[in-house]
């Protein structure tokens, strides 16, 4: 069983009628229902909960954390950000969705601005599968077509990804590295671009399948916690001054 925590700031849905019409119970609820599988144990957390719902106990029990944020990045506690970052370094998987590219945890783990070009418009996005043998792309086919999405365009200021799984193109001619993987410490990170709050993207079966595949890929492998710091002196094989 994979323990999944879905984090959503849950701000748009409470303030914007257009977003509430698409996600009346929140993006986190749509994701929870959309990716539910027998091998997933899913909980949700939101910004206004104590410690943003990401207590040490919760994170210690989380195999994979899914993150969606947009207008309240600055309201996320630095203490919680440090906690999330350390859990990733210790092995927790992290899936960052859409505007979560500008979230504090993602920027802390990438070490760059994570900035990009964008255009909020009603235009088609084609998400091309450019790494079909990758586990995240399993069962996706050559592309996913979204009739209406927000445009993200290059340059995307991230470190060179370990792998690029998907590349998107938009009606305006822009392209974007829309599915990228990274490794930090023992943790695996997957950034997946689609998911603007005014579009029903998180009801699309292809998008949901990618996210579910990402959860399984990012799930930590068994192994001991990495050890750093001072190492003890080695045991000498021969007494000092003895002949070899």
Domains recognised in the chain with CATH numbers: 2-111+178-218 (3.40.50.880)
Mean pLDDT within 11-23: 95
Integer Cα distance of 222 and 154 in angstroms? 36
Query: For residue range 128-180, what is the model confidence (pLDDT) as tens digits?
Result: 999 999 999 999 999 999 999 999 999 999 999 999 999 999 999 999 999 99
Length of the chain (residues): 244
Q: Looking at the predicted structure, is the pLDDT value of residue 66 above 90?
A: yes
Q: What is the pTM of this model?
A: 0.93
pLDDT the model gives residue 239: 60
Are 178 and 150 in contact by the 8 Å Cβ rule? The answer is no
Sheet holding 175-184, edge to edge: 40-46, 2-8, 64-68, 93-97, 187-192, 175-184, 163-170, 117-129, 143-153
| Peptide bond connecting 155 to the previous residue in cis, omega within 30 degrees of 0 | yes
Query: For residue range 167-226, what is the model confidence (pLDDT) as tens digits?
Result: 999 999 999 999 999 999 999 999 999 999 999 999 999 999 999 999 999 999 877 777
| Distances, alpha carbon 182 to alpha carbons 13, 79, 188, 235, in Å | 30, 23, 6, 38
- Pairing mode, if any, of strands 163-170 and 117-129? antiparallel
Integer Cα distance of 181 and 192 in angstroms? 9
């Amino acid at each position: 069983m994979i323990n999944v925590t879905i984090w959503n700031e849950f701000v748009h849905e409470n303030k914007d009628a257009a977003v509430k019409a698409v996600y009346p119970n929140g993006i986190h609820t749509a994701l929870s229902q959309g990716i539910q599988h027998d091998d997933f144990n899913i909980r949700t957390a939101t910004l206004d909960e104590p410690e943003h719902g990401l207590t040490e106990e919760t994170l210690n029990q989380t195999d994979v954390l899914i993150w969606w944020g947009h207008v309240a990045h600055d309201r996320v506690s630095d203490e919680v950000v440090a906690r999330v970052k350390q859990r990733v370094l210790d092995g927790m998987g992290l899936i960052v969705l859409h505007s979560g590219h500008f979230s504090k945890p993602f920027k802390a783990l990438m070490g760059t601005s994570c900035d990009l070009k964008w255009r909020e418009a009603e235009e088609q996005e084609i998400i091309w599968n450019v790494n079909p043998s990758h586990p995240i792309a399993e069962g996706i086919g050559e592309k996913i077509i979204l009739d209406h999405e927000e445009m993200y365009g290059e340059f995307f200021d991230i470190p060179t990804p370990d792998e690029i799984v998907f590349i998107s193109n938009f009606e305006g001619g822009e392209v974007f590295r829309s599915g990228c993987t990274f490794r930090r410490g023992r943790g695996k990170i997957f950034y997946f671009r689609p998911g603007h709050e005014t579009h029903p993207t998180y009801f699309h079966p292809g998008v949901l399948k990618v996210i579910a595949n990402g959860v399984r890929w990012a799930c930590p492998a068994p192994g001991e916690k990495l050890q750093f710091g001072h190492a003890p002196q080695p045991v000498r094989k021969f007494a000092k001054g003895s002949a070899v």
